Amino acid sequence: MNILDTIIAAKHQEVAQKKLVSSESALRVMEHFRRPCLSLKDSLLKPGATGIIAEFKRKSPSKGLINAGADVASITASYTAFGASGLS
């Protein structure tokens, strides 16, 4: 089994566990569920767009912890402020 197969298997298990905790109907009543979707395609095609998709990562399957104390809100806000067309 290669690293991608390992990641996929782990994600399948993670999703199955999360489905036990929160039902689809419970998610549908949450505030952010009704928020309009943002289009990555539109962001990438916008005139003057950088085309950069910036990634926020605390750890990776192959490297382990990269930056455990990283603050997602401030880092992704910086990515956006400096012109990222999308965030991952």
Residue pLDDT, tens place only, 23-72: 888 888 998 888 899 999 999 999 999 999 999 998 888 888 988 888 99
The token duo for 63 is 């490297």
User: What CA–CA distance (Å, rounded) separates 46 from 43?
Assistant: 5
CA dihedral 28, 29, 31, 37 (to 10 degrees): 20
Could you tell me if 43 and 31 lie in one domain? Answer: no
Environment class of residue 53 by beta-carbon count within 10 Å: exposed (0-12), middle (13-18) or buried (19+)?
Answer: middle
Query: What pLDDT sits at residue 15?
Result: 93
Query: What pLDDT sits at residue 71?
Result: 93
Could you tell me if 15 and 50 lie in one domain? Answer: no
Could you tell me if 31 and 41 lie in one domain? Answer: no
Query: What pLDDT sits at residue 29?
Result: 92
